[in-house]
Structure 1
Amino acid sequence: DKWLPLDTQTTHTKLPLSSMALESLKLILVVGGGLAIGVLLNFDLSWVEKTSEWILFVLLFFIGVQLRNSGLTLKQILLNKHGMIIAAVVIITCWIGGAIAALILHIPLYHGLAMASGFGWYSLSGILMGDAFGPVYGGASFLIELSRELVSLVLIPMLIGRKPCTSIGYAGATAMDFTLPIIQTTGGVRCVPVAIVSGFILSLLVPVFMLFFVSLAS
């Protein structure tokens, strides 16, 4: 954000901090309410995953329409310098964090690097780490990436007006799907190509890097 600022002011009015905090509070209440209902009420939710997937497709379709109406070219969307740099910074800093955590927790270095390569994709990372290292590592990976997503829901509305690249980086791989509507709503349409490119690169590299470090650990 300091060396390569992202211009979001041309398409989005900056929200006051109180409004951004309110957006974060709404998201927390929605997630918390869903969790409470899921715990208290025992009914079939097998349809939710498929339905939410189709809702996401519809959201992505309309975001694509909005991108075109905003005047952005296909080159600006796909070959986005900001998105590529954000993805690279996220990867490097996650590995540094994973290495430090491995030293503190006295676990093998490659285990820490593998777990740090989830980049926010909690469903896949939990499965891969569980298959490779057992249920303890699988559960830990799931909680790490889920926590990242929950923290992103809180921080993105509060920070994206002043630090858009940082906010997109917090979202990790979810910047192209789950947190994309939040990024678009609070940051403006100019943030969308950056988020899509960053999230796409990170999502593509999650299984590659995780399995690579797993192979080194075995």
Structure 2
Amino acid sequence: MSIKILLVIIVGILSGYYIIPDTMTLNTDLWLDIGLCLLLFFVGIDISKNKNVINDIKKMGFRILLFPLLIGVGSILGGIVGGYIIGLNFNEGGAVGAGFGWYSLSAIILSEHSAKLSALAFISNVTREILAFILIPFISKYIGLTETISIAGATSMDTALPIISKNTNAIITIIAFVSGIILSILVPFCVSIIISLS
């Protein structure tokens, strides 16, 4: 599955660069939204086949909130460490890590502070999403099912959810969706607060 995903991304990049004219990409956002909604619709159907999922989630209770909390803390700490390695202040590295994979929003927020940070947030969070697409099948097979949620970050509620669903089970899919929603809500707050620290 990882090879298929990687090939599709490469074919898309090459097609967009060499074959598809700019006029055909004017409505790309609309097509992406339609495709994403269809994917999420079928993920919902797949979840509904397992009747015990809701009961299992209820048993977890507030523990389900530990997933986005720990993913968020890990992403921010990872950003701080990575930022230190390349010479960023702790707040700059932490703010980039606080994008949680939502490359467009984190880049826009950080563009008010620095074009360099904005570009770095965009590149690092796009890379996180692409790596999630490629590595989720491997992680689910060789490391663990819940670990697939962490690499996806905020994208576990949308673009990465179908891949998580295909490679895990209904319970993990619901946890991933909840985690992605919470992380997405936290992005604007975390990025803004962390970058303002000195």
1:165 to 146, 149, 152: 146
The answer as to whether partners of 2:56 and 2:171 remain within 8 angstroms in 1 is no
1:57 to 27, 37, 46: 37
Corresponding position: 1:34 with 2:30 = no
How many residue pairs get aligned? The number is: 194
Give the CA deviation at 1:75.
8.1
Matches within 5 A, 1:60-139: 60-71=40-51, 72-73=53-54, 76=57, 83-131=64-112, 133-139=113-119
The answer as to whether partners of 2:36 and 2:158 remain within 8 angstroms in 1 is yes
Corresponding position: 1:186 with 2:167 = yes
Whose RCO is larger (CA < 8 A, sep 6+)?
1
C-alpha separation in 1, matches of 2:108 and 2:124: 13
TM-score, structure 2 as length reference: 0.88
The answer as to whether partners of 2:57 and 2:171 remain within 8 angstroms in 1 is no
C-alpha separation in 1, matches of 2:115 and 2:85: 21
Alignment RMSD? 2.1
Matches within 5 A, 1:10-49: 23-41=1-19, 42-44=21-23, 45-49=25-29
- Where in structure 1 do 4 or more consecutive aligned residues deviate above 6 Å? none
1:209 is matched with: 190
Q: In structure 2, the residue corresponding to 1:155 is in which secondary structure?
A: helix
Query: Whose helix proportion is higher, 1 or 2?
Result: 2
| Percent identity (aligned) | 28
C-alpha separation in 2, matches of 1:141 and 1:200: 20
Give the CA deviation at 1:192.
1.0
